[in-house]
Each structure stands twice: as C-alpha cells, then as structure tokens.
Amino acid sequence: MSKKNIEKISLLIERIKDWNSLNDDELFQLIKEFEKMPRLEVSGFYNDLFNDAKLVENLLAIYDNHCDKTKLVVLLISSIGNMIQRYHIPETKAIYEFMLKNTYRKNVGAYVALFLPRLISFKTYNSKWKYIMDIKMMSPKKVAESAFESLIDLYMDSIPVEYKVVASDYFKNKAQKSNNEYGKQYYLDLASKIR
C-alpha cells in the first residue's frame, strides 16, 4: 500500500512543480488529488516527500495566482496544514502569512482555524483569544464548530476570564441541542471543565 502511495505522491508532486502549464480545471483536479495525500494515515515513508521546501513554494505560488478561487484555497490550506501537523514541515513566515490572510475569509476561515492556532507563530498573534472565540461563528458552520471545540479543549487551562462564560454557555447550549446522551454528556463535561 505504502509503495503505491509513494509513487502516486511523487507523481503528483512532479505535476505540481509544473503547475503553470495546467489550465484551471486541471490545476484544481491536481490539487484536489494531492490534498488527500497528507491526510492519509501518517507514515514515515512519506516524510521526505512532504518535507520539500520547493513543494511548499509551489503550493503558495498557486495560491498567489488563484487566491480568488475559494475551493482551491481550501484545498491548499488543508494540504499545507496537514503537512505541518502530520509531517512537521518547517513552519515559515510565508506559510504563517498565507494562513493569516485567510483567517476571516468567508467559507475559508473555518478551515484555517483547524491549523493556524497550532502554529508556533500563533503564540504571538495579537488578538489570539478574540480570534478563537470568533471561530464558532465562521462558515461552514460544522467545520468552524469542530475547530472551535477542539481548540477550547486544547487550551482549556488558559482561557482568559472574560471568555469563560461564553465558552461554557456554548457547550451547555450544544448539550441541550444534542440528540443523544453521549453527546449531551460530552458537552456538559466540557462546560464544567471551564472554571
């Protein structure tokens, strides 16, 4: 399985290096296919493939030339975000700025929220907690709420006092809306952890 994937990833990376020669539809299909790869189950075999500065440069260049194409941008965010999170590609200023440019973008920001708060540079982000609290209102709603919930869980011990009630109320509200006991309990437990 891994050998076949290595060949497939290598081929996709080669095509990405030549992205300029593709039309918009071909480029979208290529990035759509590539984006699945860093999301596959993590394997040490893929480390060298994804730890490729030139690949990241190409993905960011594609963004610079097609930043108006929402669906393509979402795929680029997911690709780069997963390469950082799962394959520990070095976080660069260019990657951080790419994420920042899209933080509040309609139908894109929720995907950024899955990765941006886990970047090292995010520690110095000016309105870190205002941003985290804004995530739950982004679209698409399901992605935004999932990102918000996992971040609150991750940063549970450092929620500033002024946001604790809002965060706690959010989970109590989710518990009320939940249609199964497990979900209800899960949200109530999270709400009660926020002190």
- Is residue 158 helix, strand or coil? helix
Q: Residue 28: its pLDDT value, please?
A: 98
pLDDT tens-digit profile, the chain (195 residues): 578 889 999 999 999 999 999 999 999 999 999 999 999 878 888 888 999 999 999 999 999 999 999 999 999 999 999 999 999 899 999 999 999 999 999 999 999 999 999 999 999 998 999 999 999 999 999 999 999 999 999 999 999 999 999 999 999 999 999 999 998 999 999 999 997
Q: Residue 1: its pLDDT value, please?
A: 54
Cα diameter, the chain:
55
Is 0.95 topped by the overall pTM?
no
Number of other CB atoms surrounding residue 155 within 10 Å:
15
